[in-house]
Structure 1
Amino acid sequence: MLRDVRPWGGEPADVRLKEGKIAAILPTGTTPEAGETVIDGRGRILLPSFADVHVHLDSTRIGLPFRPHTGRPGVWGMMLNDRVNWREAEVPMEERTSGTLARMIAHGTTSARSYAQVDVDARLERLEAVLAAKERHRERATVEVIAFPQAGLLREEGSFELLEEAMRSGADVVGGIDPCQLDRDPARHLDLVFGLAERYDAPIDIHLHEPDQLARFSAELIVERTRALGMTGRVTISHGYGLAELPREQLLPLVEQFAELDIAWATIAPAKPLPTLLLAEHGIRVGLGEDGQRDYWSPYGNADMLDRTWQLAFTNGFRRDEDIEHCMAIATVGGRSVLGTSPALQGSLDRPGVSVGDRADLQLIAGETVTSAVMDRLPDRTVVFGGVVVADALELVGPA
């Protein structure tokens, strides 16, 4: 029993958890059942736990000494910088991925979708490290792994074969990236990605860093293939911020097609924000992620999705409580909807995830209101996964 908690910052209640789900929401002071463990909520806010749906666990330097940024502009230049440096880190890759996932869980994330870079340099080494972290923390979090062709599929011989080998080796999702700008053959790139997804009955997640009209062209090709291959509900566009730069008369038809085909969107709250409220209006599944974690691409990222929720609100220019709470809904249940484990948010005022019957993946956070919790980001947090406490006060609970 979670005693004296406030679901979505509302009235205090006692919440009973059974068999990994919320079994009852009761008046405060309810007598515990025989043998029932009681967690004192102390009036904290009860929320769904975070879902980070865009994280690169295999690029992390969380917990390692800070190093100056050495990357060059552009995806290819940044990828080459990463390739030069990633093996030289102070600790082995498996320790890095597992340590960062542990820190994410301690801060409230119990669902994640992580990329694992697969290319002719790393081969499957980075994938194996992410799979090991997933296995190590399987009692604390659910992790999907994306076989990700960071270097493209057409620029280096053998890239596609390695991507298929990654799917055979345990990856859950087929990744793609910048069909026009990186591989410069969008039809071929997308044919390979969608063909592999069809072969392994897997969802798709495509990085789209491309600018406005180029992003629009790639998105139109993605829509065409999603419709033709019956992939409704199984495709996610990550980033896609170039689409947000389109005039409304060009963006709106795309958004309507995303809604028709249930194409999801994963964002990292970039400086140029997505049209967040427009996407909510059309029922687009939107999730949030931290991207890299103080890695060879960027010094940003600290494994705390509460910080990234603040960033989502800030970059959108939100001030009203209902809009900032919507950012929290995106960071929690919105992300789960991208993963297919929760329904899509029903508009910007939907606050699901803490009702009877919901899975007991939860967090208690300190704050007067949800908005104040996002602003203050206090360390007084308790994290529950499947009805079991897995972290408290930013530290894991239970066996290492």
Structure 2
Amino acid sequence: MDSVLFTNIRPHDLLVVDGRIADPSTRPENTVIVDGGGALALPAPVDAHIHPDKTTWGHTWLSRTPASTLRELIEGEVKARAGMTASVAERAGALMDSAVARGTRAWRAHVDVAPEYGLANVHGVREAAEARRHLLDVQIVAFPQLGLLTRPGTAELMERSLGEGADVIGGLDPLGIDGDLHGHLDVLFGLAERTGAPLDIHLHDGGEQGLAQVREIARRATGTRVTISHAFCLAEARELDDLLAESNVALTTCALGADPVLPVGPLTAAGVLLAAGSDGVRDPWTPFGDGDMIARAHLLAYRTDARTDEELAACYAVAAHGGAALLGLERVDLKAGDPADFVLVPAASLAEAVVDRPAPLLVVRGGAVIAREGRLLERSPR
């Protein structure tokens, strides 16, 4: 029996037995003691929306070209990726290592699938994930970044991907990119019905066009696990909150730049599952991002004007509990029976940690210390 007692931490000491938090009164003999140095224990966060196949993390700096539309960003990315010399597995793996060292417990990774790429990106990210399966849980979304209906053969590749490393079927702006709401959704929900895979649909379209797509997705969602990512059109519109909650459609937000950000309080109060993610990290779209989900909770709090301790804590809950629920992981409340997946940070309170975004002093997965002071202790085999 493996037993570790993390002591001198707040809000209370944590006994871990066989990878789970245990009642401290049941402490076995020969328990290993780890001094937490007065740090605060927090549930490990989850990155529920990241694009690791596009990243340049750990490799040559990429200078980006101007782009003013979504289509220009997509076309510029195709050109930039053609010049990348490091493999997808190398680049994604480097970002995984950094994210784990900063406390991330799991990823939902959106990975491009298209006739131009085949399934190479899925294979590369899955290779990196398998090498780090003891450090990070990775769920892969087969994502039609270049279009679904407009790129014949993409739907067939997405279905094939489910047997070659992918777990979730992705979609992208049925109207804004494909120009066919019902045709796009027919393909996605047909795939979900045949395979049992969940759906995660990027929706950048704003205004009434975006809201119309949300209504149709929610109408079709019965019996299918559906997430809408970004959902910029919902940043100000509250009339669909109850519909989303009733249809069990989840949302993810990334608190990016000038993009609209989903409001934490109203959505969670309505019962909508809300998670957060990094989106792109130093890729052809953006020079920013670092895969640090404590820092992302900070950005979410800043962009939503969180001020009270409760509002700041709610933003961290989106990153930790919302992300875990979206990926189907067990919730960590630091109670007996919970998975021992947590971080120890130098902060007096959760609110302070969200504002200061400190690097974890320790990252703990299944009761084992895997990172210390922002550095991974056990690197995966290359």
TM-score range normalised by the length of the shorter chain:
over 0.9
User: Which of 382, 386, 393 in structure 1 is aligned with 2:362?
Assistant: 382
1:258, distance to aligned residue in structure 2 (A): 1.2
1:6 and 1:18 mapped to 2: Cα distance?
19
**Which residue does the alignment assign to 2:220?**
225
User: Which residue number corresponds to residue 193 of structure 1?
Assistant: 188
Q: Does 1:263 align with 2:243?
A: no
Specify which of 315, 320, 332 is matched with residue 303 of structure 2: 315
Q: CA deviation at 1:76?
A: 2.0
Q: Go from structure 1 to structure 2 and tell me whether the alpha carbon gap of 1:123 and 1:73 turns closer, same or farther (over 3 Å shift).
A: farther
Q: CA deviation at 1:104?
A: 0.4
- 1:390: how far off? 1.4
- Using a 3 Å threshold, how does the CA distance of structure 1 residues 71 and 133 change in structure 2: closer, same or farther? farther
Percent identity, aligned pairs only, is: 35
Q: 1:76-117 CA deviation, whole Å, 9 max, x = no partner?
A: 221111111113224222100111011100000011100110
Question: 1:160 matched to which residue of 2?
Answer: 155
Paired amino acid for 2:9:
V
* Aligned 1:175-324 pairs, distance under 5 A: 175-227=170-222, 230-231=223-224, 234-246=225-237, 251-252=238-239, 254-270=240-256, 271=258, 272-324=260-312
Equivalent residue number for residue 378 of structure 2:
398
User: Does the residue aligned with 2:232 lie in a helix, a strand or coil?
Assistant: coil
CA displacement at 1:166 relative to structure 2 = 1.3
Q: How many residues align?
A: 374
Indicate if the aligned counterparts of 1:71 and 1:296 stay in contact, CA closer than 8 A.
no
Q: Is residue 48 of structure 1 aligned with residue 43 of structure 2? A: yes
User: 1:159-194 CA deviation, whole Å, 9 max, x = no partner?
Assistant: 212111212212100000101110000101011011
State how far apart, in whole Å, the 1-side matches of 2:379 and 2:88 are.
21
| Residue 111 (structure 1) aligned with residue 110 (structure 2) | no
Rounded to whole Å, the distance in 2 between the matches of 1:194 and 1:376 is 42
The counterpart of 1:330, out of the listed 298, 318, 331, is 318
Residue 129 of structure 1: how far off its partner (Å): 0.9
Is this contact kept in 1: 2:97–2:379, CA < 8 A?
no
Letter in 1 for 2:171: G
> Of 338, 341, 344, which residue of structure 1 is paired with 2:329?
341
Q: What is the match of residue 169 of structure 2?
A: 174
1:109 aligned counterpart, secondary structure: coil
Q: Distance in 2 between matches of 1:24 and 1:173?
A: 37
User: Deviations 1:297-317 (Å, cap 9, x if unpaired)?
Assistant: 111101211111110000001
Looking at structure 2, the residues matched to 201 and 369 of structure 1 have their Cα atoms a distance apart, in angstroms, of 41
**Stretch moving more, 153-162 or 66-75:** 66-75
Q: Which runs of 4+ in 1 moved over 3 A?
A: none
Per-residue CA distance 1:112-132 (angstroms, 9 max, x = gap): 100110012111111111111
Tell me if structure 2 keeps the 8 A contact 1:64–1:90.
Answer: no
Secondary structure of 2:105 counterpart: strand
| CA deviation vs aligned residue, 1:184-216 (integer Å, no higher than 9, x gap) | 001010110111111111111000000121111
Counterpart Cα distance in 1 of 2:86 and 2:29: 47
List per-residue Cα deviations over 1:209-246 (Å, max 9, x = no partner). 0012111111111011113xx22xx1111000212233
> Counterpart amino acid of 1:223?
A
Residue 2 of structure 1 aligns to a residue in which SS?
A: strand
Amino acid at match of 2:244: F
After superposing the two structures, state which structure 1 stretch, 201-210 or 379-388, moved more. Answer: 379-388
Q: Distance in 2 between matches of 1:200 and 1:102?
A: 31
Report the TM-score, using the length of structure 1 for normalisation: 0.90
**Structure 1: tracts of 5 or more residues without a match:** 8-12, 344-351
Tell me if structure 2 keeps the 8 A contact 1:310–1:375: yes
How far apart are the structure 1 equivalents of 2:210 and 2:197? 23
Correspondence for 2:14: 15
Deviation at 1:374, TM superposition (A): 2.0
**Please, what is the CA RMSD of the aligned residues?**
1.6
Structure 2 spans left out of the alignment, 5+ residues: none
Q: Does 1:143 align with 2:138?
A: yes
- 2:368 maps to amino acid: V
Inter-partner Cα distance in structure 2 for 1:25 and 1:280: 33
CA contact (8 A) 1:83 1:121 kept: no
Give the equivalent residue in structure 2 for 1:10: none
What is residue 119 of structure 2 aligned with on the other side? 124
User: What SS does the aligned partner of 2:285 have?
Assistant: coil
Report whether the alignment pairs 1:2 with 2:1: no
Q: Is the 8 A contact 1:210 1:242 kept in 2?
A: yes
Cα distance in 2 between the residues matched to 1:381 and 1:114: 26
